[in-house]
């Protein structure tokens, strides 16, 4: 069963009816199998799942693609309907406000910022981006009051920002990171992949291949980190790399001395499209 609501007032009335705990999947729509994997995981754990589709203006910079970002609600609903056929008797409430004022009333001035995490790497390139993410997610948490929320690990820094926000504010919500879903050749699924030409899509496989190569160099051993860093230094001479770095998977720090798990994070610029990806490797 699917219900699609477009007004906050409708959402609040629906939420008041729920007796059992609910799971939550926040998205900006233009859904692909990565988003659907989050929904299906939530449906394995909850009888009722709330699923938001909202293109958040607060996380787009002045030169970014807010107006260009694809809005495909009808197709999104079809994908959700197809997915829940495997979960008879369960309920999905889709919250798809068309007007940003449904999320951010005119008097809403609060902005949430997660110190440190929000201003490095992706946050440095896109100032204010993670403040916009934290603000909208907190607002949705406030409206929906989920027990658990699901986020794809492709946006790894975003995942850490949300986890830290929940911790800082002592919110009673568990944040579940879910594995990256990839195309057969390795490209991570993203709504922005559709901006790529067939030639660009083929060339962009360098991102997955590079991450895989670095993981192979590290080979689960800290002793191999200097070799991996030399490889990275040579690789980023290509200006198409916005960044290619190693970070501790828990602290997001550059110091890997005490790390047991390392995340390799990268953004590769393919024309006007920024391709974001990461890969993790356990080390000892």
Q: Spell out where 119-240 has E strands.
A: 148-152, 174-178
35 is catalytic: yes
Residue 77: count of CB within 10 angstroms of its CB: 19
Give residues with Cβ within 8 angstroms of 204, minimum separation 6: 187, 196, 268, 270, 275
Residue 24: name the closest of 35, 13, 9, 8 by CA. 35
Determine what percent of the chain falls in helix, strand and coil, rounding each to the nearest 5: 40, 20, 35
User: Which residue among 32, 35, 67, 108 is the active-site one?
Assistant: 35
Decide: 25 and 52 in contact? Cβ < 8 Å. yes
Burial 126-149 (b: 16+ CB within 10 A, else e): bebbbbbbbbbbbbbbebbbbebb
> In 3-state terms, what secondary structure has residue 39?
helix
Decide: 93 and 49 in contact? Cβ < 8 Å. yes
Task: List, as one string, the DSSP characters of 112-134.
Answer: ---TTGGGSTHHHHSTTHHHHHH
Structural tokens at position 98: 């068309």
Give the separation between CA 57 and CA 269, rounded to whole angstroms. Answer: 22
Displacement of CA 209 from its chain's centroid (Å): 21
Give the separation between CA 197 and CA 223, rounded to whole angstroms. Answer: 40
Which are the catalytic amino acids?
35
């Amino acid at each position: 069963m699917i219900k699609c609501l477009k007004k906050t007032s409708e959402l609040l009335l629906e939420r008041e009816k729920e007796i059992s705990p609910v799971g939550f999947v926040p998205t900006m729509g233009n859904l692909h199998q990565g988003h659907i994997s989050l929904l299906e995981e939530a449906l394995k754990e909850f009888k009722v799942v709330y699923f938001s589709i909202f293109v958040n203006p607060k996380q787009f910079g002045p030169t970014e693609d807010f107006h260009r970002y694809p809005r495909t609600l009808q197709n999104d609903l079809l994908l959700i309907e197809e997915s829940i056929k495997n979960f008879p008797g369960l309920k999905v409430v889709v919250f798809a406000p068309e007007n940003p004022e449904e999320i951010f009333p005119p008097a809403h001035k609060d902005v949430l910022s997660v110190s440190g995490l929000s201003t490095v790497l992706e946050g440095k390139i896109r100032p204010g981006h993670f403040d916009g993410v934290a603000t909208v997610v907190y607002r949705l948490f406030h409206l929906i009051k989920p027990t658990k929320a699901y986020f794809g690990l492709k946006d790894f820094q975003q995942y850490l920002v949300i986890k830290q926000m929940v911790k800082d504010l002592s919110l009673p919500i568990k944040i579940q990171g879910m594995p990256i879903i990839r195309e057969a050749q390795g490209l991570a699924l993203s709504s922005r992949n559709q901006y790529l030409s067939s030639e660009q899509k083929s060339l962009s496989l360098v991102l997955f291949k590079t991450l895989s190569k670095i993981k192979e160099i590290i080979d689960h051993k800290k002793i191999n980190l200097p070799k991996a860093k030399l490889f990275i230094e040579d690789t980023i001479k290509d200006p198409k790399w916005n960044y290619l770095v190693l970070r501790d998977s828990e602290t997001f720090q550059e110091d890997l001395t005490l790390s047991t798990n390392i995340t390799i994070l990268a953004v590769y610029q393919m024309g006007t499209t920024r391709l974001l990806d990461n890969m993790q490797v356990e080390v000892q």
